[in-house]
Every structure is written in C-alpha cells, then in structure tokens.
Structure 1
Amino acid sequence: MNAHAHAVDGTVSAHLVRSLVGALAAAGRGRPARLPDLTGDFLGNDLARVSTPSLITVWEDLVLTDPRTLIGPLILQDAPIGAFGVWDYLVTTGPTLRESLTSAVDLIAAIGDPAAEKLLVEEDGRRFTVRHATGTWGPDVVQAVDLFALSLFLTRARHAVGRDLAPTRVTITHRPPAQARQLTRLFGTDRIDFDAPYNSISFREDDVRAPLPAAQPGLDRLLARHAERVLAESRPALPWLDRFRPVLAAACREGDPGMAAVAQRLAMSPRTLQRRLAENGTTWSRQVEAVRQEQALELLRTTELPLRAIADRVGYADVRALRKAVHRWEGRSPREVRGAVGPAPA
C-alpha cells in the first residue's frame, strides 16, 4: 500500500471527478452543485481530493442518464491519456506492461479512494491478471464502477502497447447486462464470465512482458516519485467532519442511520469511524443528535407533517421523545417552533 494512502482514504482525485462531471454535463444533466466539494474551485485544483460520497452521488446521477447504456466504459471514450493525471502515465510509460500495470495498482490512490477500491495483481506463468472490487454502493453504481475500472485498465494497456490488445479473459461479478454484446466488442473477446466471484481482466504473459514501444529508461521511476509527491501534497477539499455529516444525514433520511451502515458508506469499519470521530473531538451519538436536530427543526418549520411522522422520519421512538428533544434544543415546544406554519397536528 502506498505510504500516503491513509491520508487520502475516503477521497478521490479531482482529475477523476472532473471527467465524470464532464460526462454528466455532456448528457445534459449539468453539475451536481448541491455538493460543496464539487464546485469549480475544487475541481480545478489538481491537488484537491473530493470526498468519495460526493463521487458516488455523481455516479448515481450518471447511471440515471440512460439505464440502457454501459455508462462506465462510455465515459472513457472521451477521456484521453492524461485525463486522470499522473496515474494515466504510470500505466503507459513503463519498460513493460507488466511493470506499468503493477505500478498503477500500487499507486491507485493517485486516482481513486484506496479505502474503497481494492486491486490485486496475480500471475500464474501464463496470464497476468488485475482483480478489482469497489465499495458496497447501490448495485447499479457498483456495476458502473466495476466496468469503468476494467475498461480503464484495458484502454490504458492498449495505449501503452500501441495496438488493439485483447484480454485472454474477463470476469464480472454481475449478471449479464442487456448490453452483453457491447461488452464483447469493447473487450475484444467473448471470454467473459458473468456472475463470477470477482472482477478481473487478464492478459497473456507474452503481451505484458514485451518491451513497450514508447518506453524511456527511468521515466517510470520518475513518474512514480512524482505521484508520491502529489499524494503527499494533496488535501481533501473539505475537512473530514464536513464530509461525514452529509453521509450521516442521507442515511438518516433513508431510514438507515446505524453506525455499521454509515461506516460502510464511508468505506471504513465502525471502529475506524469511531476513531475518526474522536480525532475530530466528537462522538457518534453527538453527531446523530445534531443531524436529527437539523432535520426535525427543518420539518417543523417548513412542513405540516404530523409530529408522529416527523418523529418517525428522524428516528425517535414516539412523539413524546421528539417533544423532549425539541424542548432541549430550543427551550420551547414543537408547536411554538412551528410558528407561522400553524398549530402542530396531534
């Protein structure tokens, strides 16, 4: 694992997000400006790291643009070498494809979230394989990310060798999509196994050990050192607590505010989540209380929902618990907080 990976856990490079936001704009969906770390200032800063939850929101918007489209591979059609920063050149400038792909896997933090994207290189003397797994997001998003990752390695490998390289085998954990024939054309092989135990793309050992046509001695080591420096200098666009709160708020709105569920969304264990909260001078219960307060007061002030419905939405067992909480926060009753909205329904 890269020495700087722990410092960028939970974030991805601005290069990656710029490409996806650009694809979203090209599809006529615009930019998800509701997210604070997707502003132009952050996306234009090559040293900024965008939160993984914000990235997943972009992916969610992308898969909704046209559910019949293989959106992950499609994005790469308009992503030339260099679109993903120094990581692209790690794949394309080593002495051999074997060394280049290994370096790119080792430095996955230069483009993605090392806490969420799991990559492994395997060799058996006949094949060179890159295995990939991502976080436990929604199934449509996971499929899009998985196909994007496999396609990314293939397109960059083809650029590196300067020809239409075909993998010897592709495995995909998902069921065959309606566009399975498109995948056959994309990968250049019909040796695609669906419902597999893991995602992977394999190349012949002879292909990955042949000298790359554009290789320059020492350039791969120079680029790897540069990638390390970029990681050392990169900083999250938002402080960690500002990245955590929207994830917790979304979980509460969706009725799944348990610590394990939120930790899973953040690609970390509950123990690590508790430690990060402590490092930021707060606790899980304090943050849940703050989010409940924000959501409950907003519902009181902007809707006419019955108190029982509000209590259910923000996770209180009954109306009495909600009344006690509102009095603790505001020093007055829910009816008084509601003010101009009208009397609180029974």
Structure 2
Amino acid sequence: MPATVLAALPATLLATLARLGRDERAVRARAGIDASALSDPDARIPFAVHARLWEEIAALGGDVGLELGERLGTAALGVVGHAMSRAETVGDAWSVLERFRRLVLEDAVPRLHVEHDEAHVVQPLPARFARLRHPAECQAAATITTLRALVGARIDARRVAFQHPAPPSIAAHLALFGTRDLAFGAAVNELVLDASILARPNVRADPALRDYLVRRAGALEAELGDDDRIADRVRREIAAALASGEPSADALARTLGTSSRTLHRRLAVEGTSVAALLDETRRQRALALVEDPARSVGAIAFALGYRDATTFTRAFRRWTGTTPGAWRRA
C-alpha cells in the first residue's frame, strides 16, 4: 500500500508559508495539490505528493526550513499534535508522538533515546528527502520550538548535527538552537538536549483532554488497518539505524519486538531478507546522496553505515556499474 501522510502536515506547511509572506498558492499549484484535499486535517494524502511539496518549498531557498519549523507548532501533527500539547510532561508528550508515528508519517517522526544525561532526538528522513536541506532543518527547528512551548521557557540544545553541508550563513541556526556546537556533513540529523527536560511539566497540561485526543488518534489509526508489511517496518528501522553502523538482524528483531528467527521467517514469506532490504535501503539513499556534489564519498559511506569509502565504492559499482565520482560526472 503506498505511503500516506496526515493532511494536517502539508496543510500547516502551506498555511505557515503564507504567514511568512510566500506565495503558498503558487507552491501548492506547482506541487500539484488541490486545496480541497487539505480541507480535512484527519484525511490522508499520498507521500509522493507531500514529497513534491517539499521539493517546491526547498526551491524557495534561504532559511525557509528553519523559518517554517519555528512557526509550525503542534497543529502540523493534527490530532496527535493536539494531544501532545495537553500531555502532563514533555516525556508524556513524546510518548504520544512515538505511539502514533504511523498516523503522522512513519518514516519522518524523530526517534528519541537517552544516554546518560542527554536526550538524543535522531531525525531519520525518507530517501527522497536525503538531498534536501530544508526538511531536516524544519524538523529540528519544529522540535526545539515545540519543546519550548511545552515548558513555557527557552531551552537550548547542547549540540545539533545535520547530514547536509553547511549553508552560506549559519547565523540563524546559532540563534535558534542556542549552541555553537553545530555540525554539518554529519552522519545523522540529530538534536541533543539535557535529558532532564523530559520530566518537566507541560504548562498547558490537561489530562482529560489529552486522553480524549489520544482516543481520537487511536480511532484514526485503526482506520489505517494493518497493511504494514514486516518488510516495510524493517526498511524503516534500517534507515534509522544506518548512521550508527550496519544493523544486525538480531538488533532489528529486538527493535521490532520479535526474535531473529521469526523475523527471518516472516521476511521469507514476503520474498525478501534482512540482507536484501539493507542493500536496497543503502542503494536508494546512496543514489539520492551522491546527487549532492558537496558531500564527499567518505561522508556518504559513513552515513550509510559502511566501514570506509572503499567498501561503499565497491557496493556502488555493483549497483550501478560505475563509481560515485563517475556517476556524478555523467
């Protein structure tokens, strides 16, 4: 079943563009989106349409991703965002997002893990977004501004990393994230914060309303059915894990709450394997990343979980019959 996204997300992006003084109607038209398709925030639109919208937004240039992220608010996540805004704590709000990630857009919802006193918000993005700067910057900006809104105070990041090369100026990034520990060309898109923020209370908490909205989100999720194949879930987990190295079948199985043996058996029923999905995911992302001439072969290899550039180049030649450098020059 083709991937879809909650209509609230593209609708809020376009509305925010209009508030920024941009011609949102022209952007929407170029993306091929009918306004009526966005009238119901709980509706679904094809991911391919959402991706076209982001490509048109990226073409606007400047710091449009940051500008959008600062202003989107939780409304961009529809009923899930409204439930988050009424959660009791920041940690509770994040658990709502994690629970309903499939309802929003499975491949693009940030993943949170805590290491010692740090909360790491890792931002996997669909392969089609890999060569675009602005979706990653929008997501990071939206994350930190949402957290600030929840606690009712300014909080700053400890460090921020983006996979894309640095833009001509990073002044807006420094001002927004409040840290000078800002990296570009990194292996992963990541926002690192003080973990204590997860326990902080939400200044607009309303437990009863939160529970009502969670039930509504659950009903919408149930309407999606259970069409998600295990292969699709494995692809998503591989994409999220690659920057930390090549994920093993055992690690993937643990993440998916099953055993390695069961995972292999279920994938075999669908006519595939962990190795095949890993290779497919790497190939798709490699072809997107290599289009960006500012990314070195070594940086691409690292982002795809390879030990070194030589191993990546060997794989790229197997996929395409040529080297990354020759592919770029063709």
**Cα distance in structure 2, aligned partners of 1:214 and 1:63:** 33
Q: Structure 1 residue 166 and structure 2 residue 156: aligned?
A: yes
Structure 1 vs Structure 2 CA RMSD: 2.9
TM-aligned CA distance change 1:47 to 1:211, over 3 Å: closer
| C-alpha contact (below 8 Å) 2:148/2:154 kept by paired residues | yes
Separation in structure 2 between the aligned mates of residue 117 and residue 80 of structure 1, nearest angstrom: 16
The residue number in structure 2 matching 1:134 is 125
State the match for 1:292 in structure 2. none
**Percentage of identical aligned residues:** 20
- Give matches, 1:156-305, under 5 Å: 156-233=146-223
Whether contact under 8 Å (1:94, 1:215) holds in the other structure is yes
Residues 1:47 and 1:94: Cα distance change in structure 2 (over 3 Å): closer
**In structure 1, C-alpha distance between the alignment counterparts of 2:160 and 2:126, rounded to whole Å:** 20
CA contact (8 A) 2:120 2:191 kept: yes
Partner-residue secondary structure (3-state), 2:110: strand
How far residue 138 of structure 1 moved from its aligned partner, in angstroms, is: 5.4
Q: Does 1:104 align with 2:97?
A: yes
Equivalent in the alignment of 2:35: 40
The 8 Å contact of residues 7 and 44 in structure 2, kept in 1 or not, is answered as yes
Task: Give the deviation of 1:46 after TM superposition.
Answer: 2.4
Asked whether the 8 Å contact 1:97–1:210 carries over to 2, the reply is: yes
Q: CA distance change for structure 1 residues 203 and 35 in 2, over 3 Å: closer, same or farther? A: closer
Larger Rg: 1
* Closer, same or farther: CA 82–191 of 1 in aligned 2, 3 Å: same
TM-score (norm: length of structure 2): 0.60
SS in 1 for 2:185: coil
Given that 1:169 and 1:191 are in contact with CA atoms closer than 8 Å, whether structure 2 keeps it comes out as yes
Query: 1:72: which partner in 2?
Result: 65
Alignment match of 2:82 (pick from 65, 81, 89):
89
> Runs of 5+ in structure 1 lacking a partner?
1-6, 236-270, 276-346
Q: Which residue of 1 aligns with 2:14?
A: 21
Shift of residue 92 of structure 1?
2.6
Query: TM-score with structure 1 length normalisation?
Result: 0.58
Q: What is the CA–CA distance in structure 2 between the aligned matches of 1:145 and 1:138, rounded to whole Å? A: 7
Match of 2:134 among 120, 144, 152: 144
Q: Cα gap change, 1:215/1:134 in structure 2, threshold over 3 Å: closer, same or farther?
A: same
Structure 1 residues 77 and 124, CA, compared in 2 at 3 Å: closer, same or farther? closer
How many residue pairs match? The answer is 226
Following the alignment from structure 1 to structure 2, what is the Cα–Cα distance between the partners of residues 18 and 206?
33
Aligned residue for 1:121? Answer: 112
Give yes or no for contact 1:126–1:205 (8 Å, CA) kept in 2. Answer: yes
| Contact 2:89 2:200 survives alignment (8 Å) | yes
Could you report, residue by residue, the CA deviation over 1:137-185 in whole angstroms, capped at 9, with x for unpaired residues?
25543x2111111111111111100011112222222222223121111
Instruction: Report the residue type matching 1:41 in the other structure.
Output: S
Residue 64 of structure 2 aligns to which amino acid in structure 1?
I
